[in-house]
Chains A and B, each alone.
Chain A
Amino acid sequence: MPYQQIKEAIPFKSPPAENLHVIVADDDPLQVEYIAALLQGMGFRCTKCLDSESVLGFIQDTDAALLICDIEMPGLNGLEITAKIRSSSVDRYIYIILVTARNIEGDYEAGLAAGADDFMLKPITPALFSIRVNVARRILNYQSELVQKTNSLMKANQNLQQDLLAAGKAQQAILPQKGLNSRFYEVTHIFEPSHYVSGDTYNFFLLDHECIGFYAVDVAGHGVRAALLAATVSHIVDQELFNSMTFDSSVTDYSPAKLAGELNRRFCISNAADHIAYFTMICGILDPIKQKLTYCQSGHPRPLHITKSGKNYWLGEGGFPIGLFEQSEYTNQCCDFAPGDRLIVHSDGITEAMNSELVSYGEQRLLKLMLRLPEDGLEDLSNILINNLQHWTCEQELRDDISMIIFDYKSNCHD
C-alpha cells in the first residue's frame, strides 16, 4: 500500500554527528592544525587544505559537507572559492564558514553575498567556534532529512504512478479491443483517460439478427474513484446481461430502458448517503432490418445523428442518470437509422472542455468537426479530436475523460 510506504520510508532521525566531514582551508599550516584539532575534539572527520585548488578537488571527490575557509588564500581567495562552489553542480549542500584575520569593512557582506553561510573573525576561541559549528551541523542535518524525505516521496510517487499506469492498462483491456465490422455496420471508438484511468466506459455487441447493442457510461467525477465504478459497470454489463436485460419478451422487441431501470435499481441500493456515486448512460440497439435506432438516454450527452444526405440531429430530450433516485423512470426513444447514416455517441469530456474564458467546446463545434471528418476512414479520429480540444482549451492535458463511439450503417450492404 503506497501510503504505508510513505510512512515507513521517512525516518525522522538526524544523521549521527560523527559522520560530518569537514574541510579546513588556510594557507597558514598552524591555523589549519589548530582548527582541525578543535574539530577532531568535537568528533568530526577532517581534511586539511593549504591551497584553494585542493579545496575544490576535495569538495568534488569526498562527502565533505562543511567547509571552513580562510578568506586570504593565494590563488582563489575564500570569496571566490565560495562563489565557485555555489555555481558548481555539487550534488549536496556545502555549508561554508569564512574566516578572516583582517577586519575589513564589507568582507562580511561580500562573504554572505558570495554564498557563505557564516563568518568568523580570528582569533578563533574554542567556545564560540563549537557553537558555530554546531549551528552548521544542525542546518546540515535538516538539509539531509529534507533530501531523504524528498527521495522517499519521489519513490512513493513513482509507485503510485506505476500503480495507476497498470490500472489504466487493465482498464483498457476490458474495453473493446478493436472496432466492429459486421455485414451492416462499422463501429469505431476512441478512449482517452484524462489521468491514467477513466470514469468513462462503453461496449458494443453483435446481437441476434445482425442487430448491434451498445452502451456508453460516464461516471460522475474522474480519477480512481470514478474508474472503479466504471470498471464495475463494464464487468456487470457483458453481452449476456445486455441481451437478457434489453430484450422485452412481452413485446418481442428490445427495450434499452429496461436495462437502465435495472442498473438504476442495483446502483441506488449500494449508494452511501454522504457520497452519491452515479453515472450517466446511453444505451441502444441498432436494427438493420427495421432500419431503426432504439435508445434510452440517462443523462448522457445527446448523441449526434448525421444522415446519408448530411442532415443532422441531436437526439433525445434527456433522462435521469443512473444511481441517483430509486423512483427514476426510463423511457425508450426511437428514430430511423438508414444505410449511409452515422451515429456519434460521446462523453461530456468533449462538449464540456472549457477554454480560458469558461466557454465550453459545445455541441456546435463538435458538429462542425464531425461534418468535416475524412470520408475515407476514421483511423485518425483520436488525433483529430484531441488536437481540436487542445487547441480549444490551450492546454496539453485533458481535464476530463474522453470517449466516443461512431456507428456507420454501411451504404452498400444491401447490394
Chain B
Amino acid sequence: MIKTDLHEDGILILTLTENRLDAANTPQFRELVIEQLKNGLSRIVLNMHTVQFVDSSGLGGLVSILKRIGPMGDLVLVGLAPNVLKTFTLTRMDRVFSIAPDVDAALKQLQD
C-alpha cells in the first residue's frame, strides 16, 4: 500500500501504490502513515501519483494525518491526478495542503 523511503535531511518520502483512496483502504493507510510518524519524523512527502480517486473518507484520512503531524511538521502532497485535484478544489483542501508538482519540487520546498 505504501513504499517508504528515507531521504537525506530526515525527510520521509511515502509513495502510495493504490489507485484509489476510499472508505475501504483509508483506515489502513492512515495507520501505516501514523506508524511512521511515531519514529519522530515529521517532514513528509506523500506521493499519490497512482491515485485516481479520493472520496470523502480518503479526504478525512488525509486531514487527520495533517492534524497529527501538527504545526511543528510539514506535509507536502505530490502527483495529484486531475480528478483528485478537482475534489481538493471543491473542498478548498488545495488551500490547506501544500501541493507540489513532483518529488524534487516537494523536497526543495521542505529543505528551504
Q: Do A and B come from one complex?
A: yes
**The stretch of B9-17, B38-46, B84-92 that contacts the partner chain:** B84-92
CA distance A273 to B89 in the complex (A): 24
CA distance A352 to B52 in the complex (A): 12
Question: Is residue B59 within 8 Å, beta carbon to beta carbon, of the partner chain?
Answer: yes
Interface string of B63-74 (1 = CB under 8 A from A): 110011000000
Which of B20, B60, B68, B92 is close to A319, meaning CB atoms less than 8 Å apart? Answer: B92
Q: Cβ of A358 and Cβ of B59 under 8 Å apart?
A: no
* Residues A321 and B91 in contact in the complex (CB < 8 Å), given A220-B60, A222-B23, A360-B83: yes
* Residues A220 and B53 in contact in the complex (CB < 8 Å), given A299-B92, A318-B89, A324-B63: no
Q: Cβ of B91 and Cβ of A318 under 8 Å apart?
A: yes
Question: Is residue B104 within 8 Å, beta carbon to beta carbon, of the partner chain?
Answer: no
Interface SS, B side: helix
* Residues A325 and B91 in contact in the complex (CB < 8 Å), given A222-B23, A278-B60: no
> In the complex, what residue of chain A is closest to B95 when comparing beta carbons?
A320
Question: Is residue A280 within 8 Å, beta carbon to beta carbon, of the partner chain?
Answer: yes
Question: Is residue A274 within 8 Å, beta carbon to beta carbon, of the partner chain?
Answer: yes
Interface SS, A side: loop
Using a Cβ cutoff of 8 Å, how many contacts connect chains A and B? Answer: 60
CA distance A299 to B60 in the complex (A): 12
* Residues of B with C-beta under 8 A to A276: 60, 63-64, 67
Q: Cβ of B90 and Cβ of A318 under 8 Å apart?
A: yes
Q: Cβ of A358 and Cβ of B56 under 8 Å apart?
A: no
* Residues A221 and B92 in contact in the complex (CB < 8 Å), given A273-B67, A358-B52, A360-B83: no
CA distance A358 to B84 in the complex (A): 13
CA distance A282 to B28 in the complex (A): 30
CA distance A321 to B75 in the complex (A): 20
Closest approach, in angstroms, between the C-beta of B96 and any C-beta of chain A? 7
CA distance A277 to B91 in the complex (A): 15
* Residues of A with C-beta under 8 A to B89: 317-318
Question: Is residue B19 within 8 Å, beta carbon to beta carbon, of the partner chain?
Answer: yes
Question: Is residue B5 within 8 Å, beta carbon to beta carbon, of the partner chain?
Answer: no
Q: Cβ of A320 and Cβ of B53 under 8 Å apart?
A: no
Question: Is residue A70 within 8 Å, beta carbon to beta carbon, of the partner chain?
Answer: no
CA distance A276 to B63 in the complex (A): 8
Q: Cβ of B60 and Cβ of A221 under 8 Å apart?
A: yes
* Residues of B with C-beta under 8 A to A341: none
List the interface of chain B (C-beta within 8 A of A): 19-20, 23, 52-53, 55-57, 59-60, 63-64, 67-68, 83, 89-92, 96
Known: A218-B56, A219-B56, A220-B57. 7 other contacts (CB 8 A): A221-B23, A221-B56, A275-B64, A280-B56, A319-B92, A324-B60, A360-B83
Of the A-B pairs whose beta carbons lie under 8 Å apart in the complex, a sample of 27, sorted by A's number, is A218-B56, A220-B57, A220-B59, A222-B23, A273-B64, A274-B64, A276-B63, A276-B67, A278-B63, A280-B56, A280-B91, A299-B91, A301-B90, A302-B90, A317-B89, A318-B89, A318-B90, A318-B91, A318-B92, A320-B91, A352-B53, A352-B55, A358-B19, A358-B52, A360-B53, A360-B83, A400-B55
